[in-house]
């Protein structure tokens, strides 16, 4: 393979992991590494600190560097750094899902103009190979649906809430102690991370630009131990699901939210920090890929894999990997959450008086909602009871209207939670 000179932007957990893996390849030469703090102590054996710089543009403007590896994250200054690199004719390998989801279209257009490519296998699901397979071996398929667990932190928390019967707060603290969750876990537990990834996956799978701002996003912070227990009793597990699908009318439904998943479903069996992606395509049918979705080594595997593929291509051509060039000129028509159709899990607190369950059934019926299952979960000390309802498929807007009507009834004290059920 062709010898490549590279610069690395970011030298945290992932950047260090990339460095460690690259030491095994004689044809890859790291010329410079951009960091925020030159004085930070780094526990790396035989590391040459002269490689470090706190000016990333020393890398992007260096004529000796062929490829810029960006693993710093965030939109700024990452966007300006990569824009500079592309303008200076450098290929890009990045793990930055937020940047690609928010401003990827600008970078891909510029890269096409400058005849360089952006590779980003590590941006989605860490070590699971998914981006290049969609662009190459699966390109004969019309992919119509993606259902995935794309965030290891939330999957770990939900697993422990289910298996160990921990509260959300306790499971989160455990995840933080083990390094699965950040001190500020907002990006994970509120669904931002998964939204960035499903935006990228949906764009390349459906060949249309997905607007990250139009993706419905809901995290796991409202999931209670009662929800976990009720789901288990009904034959489900709760998972944070990132979903994208092409509807019969050609519109696209992309969203991230918790869902009840039947225990027999493959995604329900995915535990702890593992990620899993299910694609539905024609002619391939259903395809599931499962593996480590984050961490230094899995992410480094994808980053270095992209780099080595690029080195191999540059040995034979000046225009490598034409399939990696972004050609998505059409913007998807994305539907609002209110226009989606789902089965629902609804937990309510109602007065323990005759007729309460009948009244719930009446309100649901008047809003075109059929009830599949309804059960009362005992009686509380204040003479209220938790009632759990599973509906048949209904329109989101109708369900929301029904819940508003129920809250106007003195018999209904609270809507504890609403979760969608995977069909």
Catalytic residues: 197
94-104 as b/e: b if 16+ CB within 10 A: bbbbbbbbbbb
Tokens describing residue 319: 């225009």
- Asked if the peptide bond before residue 80 counts as cis, ω within 30 degrees of 0, the response is no
What does the alpha-carbon distance between residue 98 and residue 123 come to, in Å, rounded to a whole number? 9
What does the alpha-carbon distance between residue 164 and residue 191 come to, in Å, rounded to a whole number? 23
What does the alpha-carbon distance between residue 374 and residue 306 come to, in Å, rounded to a whole number? 51
- Residue 342: how many other CB atoms lie within 10 Å: 20
Under a CB-based contact definition with an 8 Å cutoff, are residues 398 and 369 in contact? yes
Beta bridge partners of 6: 30, 67
Distance of CA 199 to the CA centre of its chain: 8
What does the alpha-carbon distance between residue 91 and residue 268 come to, in Å, rounded to a whole number? 39
Q: Give the strand pairing for 52-53 and 28-34.
A: parallel
Under a CB-based contact definition with an 8 Å cutoff, are residues 402 and 367 in contact? yes
What does the alpha-carbon distance between residue 181 and residue 172 come to, in Å, rounded to a whole number? 7
Tokens describing residue 25: 């390849």
Under a CB-based contact definition with an 8 Å cutoff, are residues 360 and 374 in contact? yes
Helices 152-163/225-233 angle, 10° precision:
70
At 72 the three-state DSSP class reads: coil
DSSP 332: P
Under a CB-based contact definition with an 8 Å cutoff, are residues 146 and 202 in contact? yes
In 88-151, where does DSSP find H-type helix? Answer: 97-114, 131-135
Q: What angle do CA 16, 79, 193 make, to 5 degrees?
A: 65
The CA–CA distances, whole Å, from 288 to 50, 193, 278 equal 44, 20, 4
CA dihedral sign, ordered 168, 171, 176, 179 = negative
Q: Give the strand pairing for 384-391 and 371-376.
A: antiparallel
At 144 the three-state DSSP class reads: strand
């Amino acid at each position: 393979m062709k010898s490549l000179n590279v610069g690395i932007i970011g030298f945290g957990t992932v950047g260090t992991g990339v460095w460690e893996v690259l030491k095994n390849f004689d044809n890859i030469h790291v010329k410079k590494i951009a960091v925020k703090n030159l004085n930070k102590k780094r526990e790396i054996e035989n590391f040459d600190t002269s490689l470090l710089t706190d000016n990333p543009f020393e890398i992007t403007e260096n004529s000796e560097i062929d490829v810029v590896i960006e693993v710093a994250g965030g939109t700024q200054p990452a966007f300006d750094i990569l824009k500079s690199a592309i303008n200076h004719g450098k290929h890009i390998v990045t793990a930055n899902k937020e940047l690609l989801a928010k401003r990827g279209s600008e970078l891909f257009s510029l890269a096409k103009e400058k005849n360089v490519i952006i590779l980003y296998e590590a941006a989605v699901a860490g070590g699971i190979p998914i981006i290049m397979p969609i662009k190459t071996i699966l390109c004969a398929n019309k992919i119509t649906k993606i259902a995935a667990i794309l965030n290891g932190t939330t999957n770990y928390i939900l697993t422990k809430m289910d298996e160990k019967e921990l509260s959300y707060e306790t499971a989160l603290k455990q995840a933080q102690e083990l390094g699965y969750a950040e001190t500020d876990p907002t990006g994970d537990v509120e669904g931002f991370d998964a939204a960035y990834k499903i935006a990228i996956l949906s764009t390349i799978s459906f060949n249309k630009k997905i607007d990250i701002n139009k993706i419905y996003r809901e995290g796991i912070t409202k999931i209670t131990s009662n929800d976990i227990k009720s789901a288990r009793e009904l034959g489900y597990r709760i998972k944070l699901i990132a979903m994208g699908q092409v509807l019969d009318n050609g519109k696209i439904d992309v969203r991230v939210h918790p869902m009840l998943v039947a225990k027999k479903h493959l995604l329900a069996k995915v535990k702890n920090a593992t990620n899993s992606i299910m694609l539905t395509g024609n002619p391939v049918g259903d395809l599931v890929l499962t593996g480590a979705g984050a961490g230094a080594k899995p992410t480094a595997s994808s980053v270095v894999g992209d780099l080595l593929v690029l080195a191999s291509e540059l040995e034979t051509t000046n225009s490598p990997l034409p399939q990696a060039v972004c050609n998505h000129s059409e913007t998807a028509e994305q539907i609002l959450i209110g226009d989606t159709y789902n089965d629902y899990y609804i937990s309510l607190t109602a007065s323990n008086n005759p007729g309460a369950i009948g009244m719930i059934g009446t309100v649901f019926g008047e809003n075109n909602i059929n009830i599949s299952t309804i059960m009362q979960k005992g009686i509380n000390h204040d003479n209220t009871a938790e009632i759990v309802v599973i509906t048949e498929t209904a329109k989101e807007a109708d369900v929301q209207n029904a819940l508003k009507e129920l809250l106007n009834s003195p018999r209904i004290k609270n809507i504890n939670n609403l979760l969608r059920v995977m069909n």
